Amino acid sequence: MQTWNRRNFIGIGSLAPLGLSLADLMSLRAQASSKSARSCIFVLLDGGPPQHETWDLKPDAPSDIRGLFKPIPTNVAGIQISEHLPRSARQADKYAVLRSVHGRTAIHFNGVYFLMTGYLPIQSVEFPSLGAVAAKELGPRKGMPPYILNANLDHAMGPCAPFWVRSDPSSPDFR
């Protein structure tokens, strides 16, 4: 809540030559504070290389735990990643590496399901994905799908379904 004092009123009065009134100022403040993120890019690279050979090498760990590759410094002090990611090393100040992610299950499918829905799978319930929840809460955007899904799923998607890429985009007959 805005507190009003002499300085506020003098500041508002100085806006009058610009054609701005108190109502205009309040409207601009309301618009500025009501803006929120409208997009999120979430990339799940299922089946990619293991973390201990890319982002979290653990060079001081025993040989049966650490990866085969050598760490290289990034442009962020104290952060090292795999020698095979030199471009990523130069841009480390532009991304976040989450090294503390863990799950309640050792089964990858269950872990991915939890990541995408916030729930462990239950046979009798299909939980909506985070994309479906965002699509429902944020509403439609003109000319844009609510979210894009590139996955093989065998269940109904519901009213907040994504733009679904059902085949392999690298396939020669992809349409």
Q: What is the pLDDT of residues 78-99, one digit of tens each?
A: 999 999 999 999 999 999 888 8
pLDDT, tens digit (0-9, with 9 covering 90-100), for 108-123: 888 888 887 888 888 8
Percent of the chain with pLDDT over 90: 15
Q: Which pLDDT score, from 0 to 100, does residue 29 have? A: 64
- b/e map 60-84, b = 16+ CB within 10 Å: eeeeeebbebebeebeeeeebbbee
Between the two ends of the chain, the Cα-to-Cα distance in Å is 54
> pTM of the predicted model, to two decimals?
0.50
Percent of the chain with pLDDT over 70: 65
- Contact assessment for residue 137 and residue 110, using Cβ atoms and an 8 Å cutoff: no
Cα 117 → chain centroid: 14
